Amino acid sequence: MEIHELPSLVLINDAYNASPEAMAAALQTLVLFAQERGGESWAFVGKMNELGESSDADHAGIGTLASELGIDHLVCIGAPQYGAKIAQGSATTVHLCADKAEALTVAAHFNPGDVALVKASRSEKLEELADSISAQWMHKIEEMKESEENA
């Protein structure tokens, strides 16, 4: 797990392995950081591979846990099963994304103080998304600084 303290954003890159247990631990870490920072929590989750017959149930269970933990945004990348059992009216907003590029458009909605987690099995290569999120955020910060200077 790599924790990147960017200006006004914490990015947790844990895109190197995923099991239901590791995913649950990462979500709990996300919640703790978000509570400490006072911002919204964003979980960008890709597939947990090699789970066998329990795959759909395991993914749905992690989605339910995210909702129970009070995660603000669950961004499901190529894995809609995460959102399968989240009750309508839940405080967790579910974003279903087909790929990393679509997930990056969701990340454009971050605000200062937010905390984001990127987690999936290694084969999903979500470290690329983490790098893109970091670059996009730094660009947004520069734009905000320029806007303040010109005001």
Selection from 56-65, 75-84, 117-126 with the highest mean pLDDT = 117-126
Tokens of 23: 């995913």
Encode pLDDT of 73-115 as tens digits: 999 998 767 776 666 667 888 899 999 999 999 999 999 999 9
> pTM for the full model?
0.89
pLDDT for position 11: 95
**CA distances (Å), origin 9, targets 114, 133, 135, 148:** 5, 11, 12, 18
pLDDT for position 81: 72
> What are the structural domains, with CATH classification, of the chain?
2-150 (3.90.190.20)
pLDDT for position 88: 66
User: Quick check: 95 and 73 in contact, CB under 8 A?
Assistant: yes
Encode pLDDT of 18-41 as tens digits: 888 999 999 999 999 999 999 999
Q: Which residue has the tokens 């099995």?
A: 121
Give the whole-angstrom CA distance, residue 115 versus residue 97.
19
pLDDT for position 14: 93
Q: What is the dihedral of CA 20, 24, 30, 36, to 10 degrees?
A: -170
Residues recorded for the chain: 151
Instruction: With H, G, I as helix, E, B as strand and everything else as coil, classify residue 9.
Output: strand
Task: State the angle between helix axes of 127-150 and 100-107 in degrees (0 to 180), rounded to the nearest 10.
Answer: 30
Give the whole-angstrom CA distance, residue 98 versus residue 22.
23
pLDDT for position 85: 67
The alpha carbon of residue 97 and the mean position of all alpha carbons in its chain are separated, in whole angstroms, by 12
